[in-house]
Chain A
């Protein structure tokens, strides 16, 4: 068993808890998403989904940060410790409404992933 899963919950908690944006994850929808994969593929599907979240979120944030040095600082913070609360603090300082932007980006990523798999 690769992960510590909560009963009736397909989300591999260990995978998700090391994300700086974990508190914004749409967990119920993710759980529903993972239920569409066979049991033995769910862990890997979760890994891939997180990778998609990471990419989309990083992309959006880099677009929002205007100053190049601050873009680099954001990447540096992510590189040092991906679940460091400093990352969220940095983003809050960097642009208003960062929490909503993160939530929206995650929701949008999940939706576009689901659509691409249904095509």
Chain B
């Protein structure tokens, strides 16, 4: 029997609704947060009902268990997309590499979210509490970042010619070396409300998981937000760590720095950083 609907797509639709809900009701939600009333207790059907589960963790675990299974079985979902379908999606992404950097928006954005989630086997989104300053643009190569005050270039075992940034990141020292390997920089000063809401925005973006799509090399790189972009985003809208730039073939002859970036919905931090072949 052929079933018409995909559970993953349903979850994506739920995610979209959740994002819209949060965006539409920020004021009320802030108030509830102040009163220590958590949103998980209502308005999210699967949460905390008397007969079904006791916390958000249960739902997240369900999703993540499914994601882990999908990853471990070599992307079950990916196999559902034909090569032609995948090529069609990548072609659409490539079209964006020929226009000036910006945001996708509207139905096209939703289309990309759904299609890329289908390919990768985990949920990606461009809408969250804070919007990304750009969804697509050009990524410049950044140096290594310090993981601690005593860190030195030699401790980074890859592409030492990239150098080591003398200043620490806007988020402080990286801590875990594994995180520093795959980081991106964003022009955080362009996030809406940055001047008023500086602390919350910096805290929210710190090590937020993202996926960078390199459409011309058919690669996706799972990374974290590791720094703010140092220069004005005129020529470059994103920065990338040496590992990300080289292993993700961002500046290959075919790609020339062009990327599309989405948030990864990974609340339990189960999706590993690194390069995925699309």
Contact = CB atoms under 8 A, between A and B. Distances in A.
Contacts of A75: 28, 32, 37, 42-43
Contacts, number: 112
Contacts of B11: 48
Contact of A59 (B13, B20, B111): B20
Given A52-B14, A72-B28, A116 B9 contact: yes
Contacts of B43: 54-55, 58, 75, 78
A51 B17 CA distance: 9
B25 interface: yes
A66 interface: no
Given A51-B45, A55-B43, A62 B28 contact: yes
Given A47-B46, A52-B14, A56-B17, A117 B6 contact: yes
B145 to A, nearest CB: 38
A70 B37 CA distance: 16
B10 interface: yes
B152 to A, nearest CB: 49
Interface string A23-61: 000000000010011100100110111111111101100
- Give the size category of B's interface with A: 35 or more
Interface string A74-93: 01101100100000000000
B6 A71 contact: no
A18 B6 CA distance: 26
A72 B32 CA distance: 8
B18 interface: yes
A30 to B, nearest CB: 12
Contacts of A72: 28, 31-32
- Give the size category of A's interface with B: 35 or more
Nearest to B40: A79
A119 interface: yes
Given A48-B10, A55-B43, A18 B51 contact: yes
B88 to A, nearest CB: 14
12 contacts: A14-B51, A18-B49, A37-B3, A38-B3, A47-B52, A47-B59, A48-B45, A59-B20, A59-B25, A62-B24, A78-B41, A79-B42
Interface of B: 3-7, 9-14, 16-18, 20-21, 24-25, 27-28, 31-32, 37, 41-47, 49-52, 59, 62, 110-111, 114
Given A56-B17, A118-B4, 12 more contacts: A33-B5, A45-B5, A47-B46, A48-B11, A48-B14, A49-B45, A51-B17, A51-B44, A54-B42, A58-B21, A72-B31, A117-B13
